[in-house]
Structure 1
C-alpha cells in the first residue's frame, strides 16, 4: 500500500542530470579560466567536476555504467556546446550541427535499450 515518494530509478536519473549540469558548469569555468587567466576559475572547475563525478557514481546505483556514462558525456557535450555559443559567442558550422544531432540520436538509442523497470534498478 505504501508507495515511495521517489523510486530508486528516478533518483538515479535525477543524480545523473545533476552530474551533467555540474560537468557543464565545471568545463565552462575551465574555458573562462583559460581565457581570462587567474586560478579562481580552475578552483571552481575542479570543485564542479569533482561533484559531477560523485553524482555520476550515485547515478550508477540505478543506471548501468555504459548508459549513464554515454548520457553524461553526450548531454554534457550538447549542453556545453549551447553554453559556448551563448556565453562565448562561438559559431557552429553545419557539420557540427549534424554531428550533434547524430550524437543525440545515438544517446536516444542507447537510453532506449536500458531496462526501465524497478527490478532492473534494484
Structure 2
C-alpha cells in the first residue's frame, strides 16, 4: 500500500506541474485548482508513504515519477519534442526508480 501511495504522490506531482503550465497559459480558476490540488495530493501521499518507505528512496522515486511523467505529458499534450534522446533519458530515470523499488 505504501508504494501505491507513492505512485499517487508522483501522479499528483505531475498534475501540479500541469497546473503550473496551465496557469502560465491562462490564469483561470480551473488552472489554479489543478495546480493546488495536484501539489496537495502529492505532498499528502508522499508524507504517508514515508511512514514505511525510507526518506531517500521515497524522495528519489517521487521525483523520478514527477520528472519523467511531466516530460511525457509535455510530449503527449503540449507539443514538446519527442526526440529519441529525451526518451532514452526518461527510460534511464524510470530504470533507476524500478531499481530502487527492487532493492527496497
TM-score above 0.5: yes
Aligned length in residues: 104
1:99 aligns with 2:86: no
**Bigger-Rg structure (1/2):** 1
User: Which shows bigger deviation, 35-44 or 22-31?
Assistant: 35-44
Q: Does 1:53 align with 2:43?
A: yes
Residue matched to 2:5: 15
Runs of 4+ in 1 over 6 A off after TM superposition: none
| Worse overlay, 102-111 or 72-81 | 102-111
Pick one of 71, 74, 77 that aligns with 1:84. 74
TM-score normalised according to structure 1 size? 0.75
Structure 1: any 5+ residue segments left out of the alignment? 1-10, 115-122
Is 1:108 the counterpart of 2:93? The answer is no
**Which sections of structure 2, spanning at least 5 residues, go unmatched?**
none
Matched residue, 1:3: none
Structure with the higher helix share, 1 or 2: 2
TM-score by length of 2: 0.86
Q: CA deviation at 1:44?
A: 2.9
What RMSD, in angstroms, separates the aligned Cα atoms of the two structures? 1.7
Mapped to 2, the partners of 1:44 and 1:110 lie a distance apart of 29
